[in-house]
Amino acid sequence: MSIVVENVTKIYGTQRALDHVSFSVEPGEIVGLLGPNGAGKSTMMKIITCFIPQNEGDVTVCGFNVKENPLDVKRCIGYLPEQNPLYFEMYVREYLEFIGQLHKIPNFNKKTIDTIIERTGLELEQKKKIGALSKGYKQRVGLAQALIHDPEVLILDEPTTGLDPNQIVDIRELIVDLGRKKTVILSTHIMQEVEAICNRSIIINKGKIVADAPTSELSSLIGNSSILTVEFNAIVPKNKLLGIKGVVDAEKVSEKIWQLTTTHEDIRQRVFDFAVQEHIAVLSMNIEKRKLEEVFHSLTK
């Protein structure tokens, strides 16, 4: 395993930013951490990269524990933070040289920088000051900085936020390319981003994981998911509805009308059987197919 996160909780003051989060990432995976603003994505990444400590739980990266061996962890991680902090007064090459020296890379030389510059498509911009670059190229410098010590794992916090559509396509292509040889976790609040880049999606909301599945499965699962609106002739408690196989959520519309979220199954027969068993009647049932975005919305509202 490249990354193992076990039962991690992070509390800021009185706020639980992460609540018993567990997942693991295998070498070579590109995993998307997907969730709305404030979900806890950056917090998770800062813990994995040893920038802040968790209150509870364990994290290991390439076999090293973040609390016991932070230097070893940092050595195998390249990190692009959310705000991509750069020294605008520095020249691109000068900055990368500076970062390379910070990492104390063995045999670090001009060639190492040339390779990184080529890898991140910075050839034409390499002699400019960072402050003079477009946002897309600043992001490439951020990626170059994360890659300079050839880490096994890349942690990219909202790498395409604030870029224009062309820059987004370029950076996504670059990440997919980098992901061929490295383990990547990237965060985003955009559904299409995980569909475009990630093999696997972990949806996080209010500090909790609400879904973790291969992206292809997630979209087919979610694509087929539906909302079943049922009207009964009596009041039914929510926990009983959640007991019906295939029901993942139940939302009350009025006293006797419920909206049941289902995955990929048609559960109408089961709802009917349930009503019979409860000695109540089903007055109406209506299925609506749901779009990917709506399911993300309902999982994270």
Residues that bind ligand ADP (CB under 6 A): 12, 15, 17, 35, 37-43
Q: Which does 298 bind (CB under 5 to 8 A by kind): ligand ADP, Mg ion, none?
A: none
Residue among 41 and 172 whose Cβ is closer to ligand ADP: 41
269 interacts with, out of ligand ADP, Mg ion, none, CB within 5 to 8 A per kind: none
x-or-dash string of contact with Mg ion, 186-225, rule CB under 5 A: ----------------------------------------
On whether the CB atoms of residues 262 and 225 are closer than 8 A, the answer is: yes
Of residues 39 and 163, the one with the C-beta less far from ligand ADP: 39
Report what 88 binds from ligand ADP, Mg ion, none; CB cut-off 5-8 Å by kind: none
What, of Mg ion, ligand ADP, none, does residue 145 touch, CB below 5 to 8 Å by kind?
none
Q: Does 261 bind Mg ion (CB under 5 A)?
A: no
Give the three-state DSSP class for 23: strand
Gap between the Cα atoms of 93 and 232, Å rounded: 69
Find all residues with CB under 8 Å of 59, minimum gap 6, and list them: 3, 4, 5, 6, 8, 47, 48, 65, 66
Who contacts 173 (Cβ-Cβ below 8 Å, separation ≥6)?
A: none
Nearer to Mg ion, 78 or 100 (CB): 78
Closest distance of CB 93 from ligand ADP, Å: 31
SS (H, E, C) 204-247: EECCEEEEEEEHHHHHHHHHCCEEEEEEECCCCCHHHHHCCCCE
Least distance between ligand ADP and beta carbon 35 (Å): 5
- Contact set for Mg ion, span 59-88 (CB under 5 A): 82
Least distance in Å: CB of 41 to ligand ADP? Answer: 3
Taking the CA atoms of residue 21, residue 80, residue 107 and residue 70 in that order, the dihedral angle to the nearest 10 degrees is -30
Binds Mg ion by CB under 5 A, chosen from 10, 29, 30, 42: 42
Least CB distance from residue 55 to ligand ADP, whole Å? 13
CA 145 to chain centre: 21
* 230, 287 Cβ separation under 8 angstroms: no
Cα 39 from Cα 300, distance rounded (Å)? 9
Instruction: Report DSSP state, residue 108.
Output: -
Q: How far is the CB of 8 from ligand ADP (least distance, A)?
A: 12
Binding site for Mg ion (CB under 5 A): 41-42, 82
